[in-house]
Structure 1
């Protein structure tokens, strides 16, 4: 049975066959590129690999499968380009980044279409990601001109002390599939603003967004070798990753992905002592206290879709309202179909992981209040679980799917103990109207970012990063550019007092 027929009979029973046949990425999209991008040129590899629409299983493109040779070529090109790019004035780099931002906004529909077809997001979310992605180019175009050093008072009268900030060099950027555009721009914009050059290795599921960014970078005037993209298949990824993490010409690694993979990359980087920033695994607690505005908490949960803890006094009311909101607001479908709020998961492996977590939870006493079923392909019903305990896999592992497990708790101390038991600490959310409690919990949560009465945190103005095994360093904010800079101390002596 064809993928479209399966979707027509199971996932989208109300959609006519004619509408299903419309679901194809527009081949005339001016940003659709399928080759690698190295030293300002589009580069074919000896083989290619398929990029699949996760909603239908249909192949939408075949992309050059770059290997270690192409990765090395990209590193060499970036190293050569670094020597000229770093000498550009901060204002010149700022102007280029601003042009790149303007082009992203001009082509936002085309960029969003690519995200929807390779990642599965509804168009509304894809358009939101494009705006979010572009915002980092805008932000760091401004921060490029604010890389200040220091003039430090000297203890000796015949000396002057200067602290100068300089770009570290070539940065390898390795990104995941869940934000295929924003995870690249958040890193690359900071790097280029600082005067670094980059080699991007996008996720094998979503390389088209990275290549579309390269197309716009070229149009914006980013010089050859400054921004390079080496897409590759899952099978080739380890060999390409090894080049990007061990080559002595690479000075910096920026990675977003799993904690397990991050540890492997850090070990690779250790031999040449590379600077590294890592945004790794998270498992964000979402705590709703008795004093919370329940409607506000439900809205926050719908927006963020993380695991939840509900205090006993408001637990039942919260669950009832959350379940009704899921019924009213969520609609499964292809991301390009108007009205769709929930697209597919990125691939069948992701769906299988959610199914495993639900089965484990049910076997340990959890109750499925909403959803719980896997549909054809990589579609999952949005699922709400109650009677969840900390022994269940869904409270220990990241899900990357529409699964909301809810744990009932009685005291603030109990909620904090549950939230802080994890070995990762990226973000945490809680809802409360008690000012004293807000300050206590905000300070006690062992995470890098806290949302208080708010389910959506990310913005280029704020620092994004975690604690514990959620990573190293931060992205965004005025601090994000520091990840691509080193401080040089200059002592100017022999001066006559």
Structure 2
């Protein structure tokens, strides 16, 4: 953790101290305590960060792939070695529980190792000749300097992901750290530097929420910046995508969802209930993969609901909402749904402690209620009852998001058949929606964005295929 009361922007590995007028407060929502100040980068500092990254790219892109591979593995080792320090920082800043923080450290190291293990496949290319006497060489080259914007809710794991993939490809990075966890994100930047990546290969800037759009546009508009990756809400993703389009910059987006879990009439109901409860409540429901919609076939509705209530009541939330605003917004959405005719199957909308919502399951949610079609990002979910498998698929596909879904059935052929009909980048069978295999793709579709992440799929997003044709 920082020994001072201020977190600075980081360029070329050095802290950039700005005027006190650039300060913003980082507050623990769980305790209400002031932690320290971050500093919003001004336009000059943001431009310096990009220019440093652009200058370093001409050297960094020539590093051998095996060197980058070695440094990534070292970074993973350092994250595990410093895991306790990283966990303390994440818990303090984001009000998560120790289990979620520990998972983030393990997952972050795993993501980096998987990136290193699969990067060589992404970096190779060939093409069969189409004409006699012609030979085409395909070179996989880094796209150039990139801007990455990781979120606060997977402060360690997702930050490791957005840094490791571009570095594996040979790109240099400006990272816009979350204003809610700047110390955690800065710890990770220092770890990549310590692992051997040059100080200028990963620069870090910050911005208070009130100035985030302004500073993000300064970064994106720089002619040397070639691509953007953003993980966050649909609302902010649309704004950043609009800015990227304005300057003709490609972008990878992983946005929100209302991830559905389908409970078919041949499901293992105790397992389904336990995993739906966990998928809804994990980290106070503040995960883009959280289970917010539970779609149940009518024949098993009553038994499943009893098991789900038991599973939810057995959960003791140790995480809190990340800010008061997040919790107030979620509580208001739940209360509005109840006023409009929804019922609590279990729980309520009370806030305990400073910032923890009571876990809840709703039924009879009206289609005009905001919570019916808008991500709650809270420890709550609602049940929709259907008669047939086809209706379950239609209901699951009826929202704008398309990140993750789950299907519960004892019949694997049936499960796969349903999964193929779901318009989501990932489908979990007999597992909670909050899951991603580090070596497999995380694919954003529809309103949840576009692009792929993880392993060779993520590295490939930061490469271009250059064809060099030789004619004899």
TM bucket by the smaller chain? over 0.9
2:294 is the counterpart of 1:308: yes
Determine which of 447, 451, 456 is the counterpart of 1:469: 447
Partners of 2:209 and 2:69 lie apart in 1 by: 35
- Residue of structure 2 equivalent to 1:17: none
Asked whether the equivalents of residues 372 and 384 of structure 1 are also in contact (C-alpha less than 8 Å), the reply is no
SS at structure 2 position matched to 1:129:
helix
Alignment correspondent of 1:326: 312
CA distance in 2, matches of 1:492, 1:67: 48
Name the residue aligned to 1:487. Answer: 465
Trace 1:261-272 onto structure 2 (pairs within 5 A): 261-272=236-247
Structure whose CA Rg is larger: 1
Q: Deviations over 1:409-434 (max 9, x none)?
A: 22112212211111221111121113
Could you tell which deviates more after superposition, 188-197 or 387-396? 387-396
Report the equivalent of 1:363. 339
The aligned counterpart of 2:428 is 451
Partner of 2:408: 431
Q: Would the alpha carbon gap of residues 434 and 392 (structure 1) be closer, same or farther in structure 2, given more than 3 Å must change? A: farther
Residue of structure 2 equivalent to 1:418: 395
> Quick check: 1:48–1:62 contact (8 Å CA) kept in 2?
yes
Of 269, 275, 281, which aligns to 2:256? 281
Q: TM-score scaled by structure 1?
A: 0.88
Q: Helix, strand or coil: the match of 1:391?
A: coil
SS at match of 2:90: helix
* Match runs of 1:65-80 below 5 Å: 65-80=40-55
| d(CA) in 2 for partners of 1:27, 1:95 | 28
Residues 280 and 469, structure 1, Cα contact 8 Å, conserved in 2: yes
| Deviation (angstroms), 1:296 | 0.8
TM-score w.r.t. length of structure 2: 0.93
Which residue of 327, 342, 348 corresponds with 2:318?
342
1:15 counterpart residue number:
none
What is the match of residue 286 of structure 2? none
SS in 2 for 1:178: coil
- C-alpha deviations, 1:9-47, integer Å up to 9, x for none? xxxxxxxxxxxxxxxxx6669xx9822111121222223
Q: Is the 2:51–2:224 contact (alpha carbons within 8 Å) kept by the matching residues of 1? A: yes
CA distance in 1, matches of 2:128, 2:153: 47
Using the TM superposition, name which of 164-173 and 294-303 deviates more: 294-303
- Note if contact 1:154-1:161 (Cα within 8 Å) is conserved in structure 2: yes
SS at the partner of 2:456? coil
Partners of 1:33 and 1:442 lie apart in 2 by: 48
Name the SS for the 1:223 alignment partner: coil
In structure 1, C-alpha distance between the alignment counterparts of 2:361 and 2:23, rounded to whole Å: 40
Q: Which moved more, 1:57-66 or 1:120-129?
A: 57-66
Judged with a 3 Å threshold, the aligned counterparts in structure 2 of structure 1 residues 278 and 328 are, in CA distance, closer, same or farther, namely same
Unaligned runs of 5+ in 2: 281-290
Q: For the residues of structure 1 that align with 2:148 and 2:448, how far apart are their CA atoms?
A: 17
SS of the residue corresponding to residue 133 of structure 2 reads: coil
**Higher mean Cα deviation, 429-438 or 157-166?**
429-438
Unaligned runs of 5+ in 1: 1-25, 331-340
Q: Residue 80 of structure 2 is aligned with which of 100, 105, 111?
A: 105
Aligned twin of 1:23: none
Report how many residues are paired.
457
